[in-house]
Amino acid sequence: MVEPSKHSGVELMVSQMEKELQDLVPILNDDAPPVLYHYTSDRGFLGVVDSKTLWATHYRFMNDPKEFVAGRDKILGLLRAARADHAARSPEQGLLTFTLEKLEQIAPLDFPPPFLACFSEHEDSLSQWRAYGGHGTGYAIGMGFGVTDEDDAAQCFTAGLVRCQYGGQAYDDAVRSVIGSICHAFREYAETYIRDKTAGARALLAACRVLAHRLFGHMVRYKDPAYSEETEWRIMAFLKSDPGQNPTGFRIGANGLCPHIPIGFDPSSPTFQLKKVVVGPSPDQDVRALVAKLMLEKHGFGSCEVVKSRIPYRGPTQR
């Protein structure tokens, strides 16, 4: 822990503490396979390639709202268990209680929410074609993540790439480690530098903001074990505190209006690279593959590989 200057004010002390907590527990960022696949309809594929943009959706507006509830309930249970391990009126208990109160809200407005874009490790999955790929008439967009920069100046967000977890001891241990690390560091600051209620309140809010932010990462990566075959990955993007112009857009989703933010890419992008396109298992694959190649070439992605699904599947409208 770096000792603040003796002449530093409350704001400097709190800012320094917040930065130290952020560095102590970085944003989640897993090492990804060479290519991950985003399944979408033909309309979605057209929009992605035309605009050179993927859309990351606000975590509260995903297609299956139960995903958020399951992840939140799991995190809240681990937070309550951790709080029970600390003495009453201790700095750790105060921080955990405050964080619980924030995360129990539907969407705490004073914390930046994560926006998510979803991928699968599988390039040709029948369940993915059925659920997201237009019943086989769509495309799987293969993206490479050659360089992962959690603070890309060209984007309006900070981001991490996370592999979904389907419960188990390793998941619980990872969450406990985040909670324990931040609680321990906060206690050191509280006992060493916080001398009055004003400083205490500001430090508590800052520590809570970091803890909640890091727990959001584990919350949105949690899925029910029944979905483990999807081997899902997610880009988890948080808007920067001052992105300049608000980039949030809105579209009609499965559950009504939903907010999203753009994740831009182009042929020269070092962060998000269009590597491969898989044509869904529809009867007219040859035509769809040709159209995909023509469109990719027009937009500067001529080197992108186009392949056809090998699954013998006919969508419900083709029976």
Q: Please, which pLDDT band fits residue 153 given cuts at 50, 70 and 90?
A: very low
Residue 76: the pLDDT is: 95
**Digit-coded pLDDT (tens) for 95-135:** 999 999 988 886 555 667 889 999 999 999 999 999 999 99
In the chain, % of residues over pLDDT 70: 89
Indicate the range of 33-47, 148-162, 192-206, 301-315 predicted with least confidence. 148-162
Indicate the range of 25-34, 252-261, 302-311 predicted with least confidence. 252-261
- CB-based contacts of 149, cutoff 8 Å, min separation 6: 270, 271
The token pair at 232 is 């899902």
pTM: 0.85
The DSSP secondary structure of 263-298, one letter per residue, reads: EE--TT-SSSEEEEEEE-S-TTHHHHHHHHHHHHHH
The token pair at 204 is 């508590």
- CB-based contacts of 226, cutoff 8 Å, min separation 6: none
Is the pLDDT at 313 greater than 70, yes or no? yes
End-to-end C-alpha distance for the chain, whole angstroms: 66
133 burial via Cβ count (<10 Å: 0-12, 13-18, 19+)? buried
Output Rg (C-alpha) for the chain, integer angstroms: 22
Q: Please, which pLDDT band fits residue 5 given cuts at 50, 70 and 90?
A: very low
- Pairwise pLDDT comparison (123 vs 283), residue with the higher score: 123
Indicate the range of 64-78, 210-224, 289-303 predicted with least confidence. 64-78
The mean per-residue pLDDT over the stretch 170-199 comes to: 93
Indicate the range of 206-215, 249-258, 283-292, 296-305 predicted with least confidence. 249-258
Neighbours of 90 (CB within 10 A): 15
- Pairwise pLDDT comparison (221 vs 68), residue with the higher score: 221
229, amino acid identity = E
Residue 307 forms beta bridges with which residues? 278
Q: 3-class SS at 182?
A: helix
Of 310, 263, 305, whose CA–CA distance to 51 is shortest?
263
70/219 Cα distance (integer angstroms):
8
- Pairwise pLDDT comparison (111 vs 219), residue with the higher score: 219
Q: Please, which pLDDT band fits residue 229 given cuts at 50, 70 and 90?
A: confident
Is the pLDDT at 297 greater than 70, yes or no? yes
The DSSP secondary structure of 40-58, one letter per residue, reads: E-HHHHHHHHHHTEEEEEE
**Digit-coded pLDDT (tens) for 46-95:** 999 999 999 999 988 887 767 778 888 999 999 999 999 999 989 999 99
The token pair at 128 is 């993915």
The token pair at 249 is 């857009």
Q: Are strands 305-308 and 273-279 parallel, antiparallel or unpaired?
A: parallel
Distances (CA, A) of 281 to 16, 239, 298: 54, 37, 24
Residue 156: the pLDDT is: 63
- CB-based contacts of 225, cutoff 8 Å, min separation 6: 166, 167
Residue 318: the pLDDT is: 46
Neighbours of 176 (CB within 10 A): 14
**Digit-coded pLDDT (tens) for 9-30:** 788 889 999 999 999 998 888 8
Of 240, 301, 306, 238, whose CA–CA distance to 272 is shortest?
301
178/108 Cα distance (integer angstroms):
20
119/139 Cα distance (integer angstroms):
13
The mean per-residue pLDDT over the stretch 155-181 comes to: 89
Is the pLDDT at 231 greater than 50, yes or no? yes
54/161 Cα distance (integer angstroms):
14
Residue 79: the pLDDT is: 97
Please provide the average confidence, as pLDDT, over all residues in the chain. 87
Q: Is 282 left (phi over 0), alpha (psi -120 to 50) or beta?
A: beta
